Structure 1
Amino acid sequence: MDHFNATIKDGKLVKTRRGLQVSRQKFNGLSFVNTSPQEPPSGPSGPSPSGVAAGGAPSPAHPEIIFVDEGSELHGGDAKDGGGPDQHPDGSDPPKRRRRPPRRGKSPATPSPATPSPSRRSPTNTATPAFHPPDLLSVPHPQSTTPSSADPPLSAQEWSLFERHLAHAAPRGTYPYEALLTYNPLRGAEFRAMVAADMAAVHCVLAGGCVAEAVERGASPRELACYIGRVCAVLNRKLGRRESGVEGGAVWCIAELARVGCAVGRLDHWLLHMRGLKKVLDINGGLVGLPQWLLASMHKADIQGASTLAIPPFLPFTRHHGSIAASLPTNLRSRTRSTLSALLTPLGINPEVTAALSSLALLASAVRLARAPENAGGGVRFDPDAFTEEWQAVGDGLLTRPRP
């Protein structure tokens, strides 16, 4: 806003030496100083220096103000303005100022010979395009769970990100100890088929991959808002149809949105999505009948945010498998429990909290046993559902038990 010129359509040139004035202590607002036309405007009433009629409200009959490039005035030599660019409105010589390129491009309201040449480009044209709600809602989305030819095609870069995250980051994120498991459910055909059949799940994978790669690079995930907006648009259409039941892909997407919000530090987004997920599950019968990999994803998102905020999880946790501590020797299990009880009971720790910490110690012992050199060849492997349930039960137990 420093030292720009403005012309009045069918009028005179207005030169401005100083525009936006901001101090360190106070925002002074938009203030035009030393602004006056070269000659008194003709007609009964002219615009004020700020471009608004004297009555206070702009009128379509009054001339429009457009911004022009100072360089075009220098080279064009407009004679009817009554003065060159070096002449100050009050007749005195302006102070010498070093010219700098404009920081923000201004597009004229109407075509004019004095407008900037098309080769000049605003800095925002080279940045990542912004996505607004109207743009997201105008994207065609599938009306069923099967992909449609009307879906916006993914670019080659997006497909590459999709394959990398679906094949590597997503399975490791939900099952970080997959080297100790007999198999990883997120590498199976059921999960991949669910993702491939749901555009919301596709964009959810892209959102997770965007965050994962941004963390590795130490940069900000600039495309994240785009992918999240697309996921929300598809989910709103699905949930808006009010069909009986809810698809597993939609539930997984809501849980992933909550997990992404927690990963990027937007705990308000985590709260919003977890409340919505709980409401969707309550309306559609709860957690009964859902596959184990979906339960693991939902509980992971729930416990991750609840641990950050130190609040109870939203979803009830129910165990369906036995403890993996059964793989440990009996004397080791007994010694671990008795040692923790002897340490924590005199401190007044709640017995339920002591039991949860004992389960954590036994889980750590089982992991250490599986990683022992004598088991390096794969002698000890755990069922993924039982192992993940044991791991998440410890976190749920510590969050739901009474505080000491």
Structure 2
Amino acid sequence: MPLAEHRGAGTLAVHGGELKHKPGDSISDPIFCASTYAFDSTDELLDYVEGRADREEYGRYGNPNERAVERKLAALDAAEDAVVFGTGMGAIVGLLMSKLNSGDEIVFFDQCYRRSREFCAKHLSRFGVVTREVPTGDFAAMEAAINDRTRMLISESPTNPHLTVVDLEQFAALGKSHEVETLIDATLATPFNVQPLRFGVDYVLHSATKYLGGHNDLLAGVICGSREQLEPVRNLRGIMGGINSAHNLYLLQRGLKTFELRMQRHNENGQRIAEFLAGHPRVERVYYPGLSSHPTHDVACRTMQGFGGLISFLVKDADWRETARVVDAVKLARIAPSLGGVESLIEQPLIMSYYNCTPEERCRFGIPDNMIRMSCGIENAEDLIEDLGAALEA
């Protein structure tokens, strides 16, 4: 039977959701390269169709590798169930499409991943769903935006790239008081640093491409929550086909084995590098919830075990070209999107993600020209600090 969820994060990362005895007596789960699964008899098929047998039928509806990964992710997030998708965007799209109908409304805290915002504001609107955005952390504004058509409250915590931490207890309580479901995108926190479901949140979303996979070599997403609430999400995934290959699921399961160890180093590196940047004369401001100067530091200390490896900072008195020269001068971190892998990555949000936005839009989204975002990997902090220092002084 799968391991009990009360075990530590490291134990759950290695053993959680896995059966002790596996096909072929292997230690690792075998990769099931099957698109369809056979039945010995009509009676066996009827047992499956009528819900008496828990097994696979067709690859779009499930795979043994997928089941093992879902059980492990659910255990890590203290959830009853988890549904894995091909990407993080596939996960949020699958959840919202399974829960919303024409005329429904959702309320977003406005510091959010730009593609999540784009899907809701641009594409859900084509189906008659209204998206309302309110300032992140302003619960009075969020409550004022709720009406009898509101079906879901959505936020990231921490947010990307400002690293704002949301009071999850207040967020969940607001949803419950209005009988509205709640969703937290906890990609930047991971289940190691925060478990939103324990605060009463209904759904937690992760881009498993990031810290959960951990090696910049796969794409995946997951929604965790109660089994009953996730049943329509799983059913719609089977129709839409937003699944992963068995090989990809194997990579995710293998990456999760070292999850706790990696997160300990990400947390350590993030804190040390944020403190270094906060004291550097060429840095105007650092966005990192582990710093006492961060606006939501107190909330982060109350709700999070650690603060992750993502840092955003502003280069003092720099225009976008001068900021780009700092990025170019860094030698260890590679210029690339994404985050959460063992390799450090660095980018200038103005160019990487918001280049096609107008200056007015970037101002509204809080993306100044002199902002740099760095995802600290698991390299030695001393080497990353030396490299960053040299780049800032070049």
Q: Do the two structures share a fold, i.e. TM-score over 0.5?
A: no
Q: Which structure shows the bigger proportion of residues in strand conformation?
A: 2
Higher Cα Rg, which structure: 1
Q: Higher relative CO (CA 8 A, sep ≥ 6), structure 1 or 2?
A: 2
TM-score of Structure 1 vs Structure 2, range by shorter chain: under 0.3
